[in-house]
Every structure is written in C-alpha cells, then in structure tokens.
Amino acid sequence: MILTNNLTSDSACRTFFSNDIYFASFSNAILFDGKQVIHPERLVRYENDMSLIIDDTKSAEDKKRRRDIVVKTDVDGVCCLFSIEHQSTIDKNMVIRCGNYEMLEYLKQLKNKKLKRLVPQVIIVFYTGDKKWNTPLELNDYFDIPEELKEYVNDWKIKVVDVKEIDTSKIKDEQTRSHPRDV
C-alpha cells in the first residue's frame, strides 16, 4: 500500500505510478480495455529530462521539460515509451505541452545513430482536478481550418483520464483498482 497523505498530488502520482504493477494495470485498463498488453516485469524506467533552447534573437531561453513518469517496454516485440503526466488543474495548453514532450524526445532519438527507427510514444494525462476537463484534446481543436486544408494540417491528440470517471472494473490488479482515486 502506498500512503499519500503528506505528499503533493504530483508526488503522490509519481509515487503511485512508480510501482510497475500499478503502472501496467492502469495503462492496460485505460489504453487496452483491460487486456494485458503492458507487462510490469518488462517495464524499464526511462530518463526523460529534456531541454530546448529557444533563441528569438532578443534573448535566448533554455526551456526544461520533464514528464512525471516514463517507462520503456515492448508491445508485440516493438520498443515503445509510455508516459503518465499528472494534472491537478486544467491546462488549456495540454495538447501543445504533450506534443512538445513528444517532439523533444523524437529529436533526442534522431541524434542516436544506433536507432534505425524512432520509438513510438504514448502519453496519458492523469487528471485529478475537481472540475470536468473542458479544454481541447486535439491540436486541430485550437484552429479554424478551412475544409480544403484539413487533410494537410497535422493533428496531435492526447488521452486525458479523469480519475473520477475511471472504470475500475477494467483494472485487473486488485490493489491498483482501489488506489487511483486516492492519488
């Protein structure tokens, strides 16, 4: 059992999902309708400190980015990255923030000459706030796009999971099933 009474909600979330069984059980319930695709014994913690220097010629700015939890595992023999990003408040820029995390990771992967292909990523936003999530889940929801351009404008989608709406019956591990609302 993980005690979360004296932790911030971010720390409680990181502590909870640092348990490989909880991470796998939760992710399988959310992404795969309970089917056991992610196996806890095959999860490997993944370093995810990233930075980006933005130089607008007036002043250079070093942006640091870090996702809450990132693991590497395989799905059907393909190496993949899975992340959980905790949110206790609604962030109207969450799609862009998650897209930024993913693009920075892909840029990092491109520098690795040993990789033959990029490693796909999935980010789950674990939302524990009081209000209903009411901001865009797709990048294209931020735009007015003329019909003629829709097929050419790239989209970015995120998966937001509201802790109050989780169907716990899909979570196979009994301990995991009882804890998400405690985070």
Predicted confidence pLDDT, tens digits, the chain (183 residues): 344 455 677 888 888 999 999 999 999 999 999 999 999 999 999 876 554 444 555 555 545 556 889 999 999 999 999 999 999 999 999 999 999 999 999 999 999 999 899 999 999 999 999 999 999 999 999 999 999 999 999 999 999 999 989 888 888 888 887 765 555
Burial string for 10-42 (b: 16+ CB within 10 Å, else e) reads eebbbbbbebbebbbbbbbbbbeeeeeebebee
Residue 54 is predicted with a pLDDT of 44
- Which of 154, 56, 150, 55 shows the shortest CA–CA distance to 102? 154
Helix/strand/coil for 111: helix
Q: 10: which DSSP letter? A: H
The full set of domain ranges for the chain reads 9-46+73-182
Estimate the crossing angle of helix 20-32 against helix 9-17, to 10 degrees. 90
Q: How many residues does the chain have?
A: 183
Closest CA to 115 of 124, 105, 102: 105
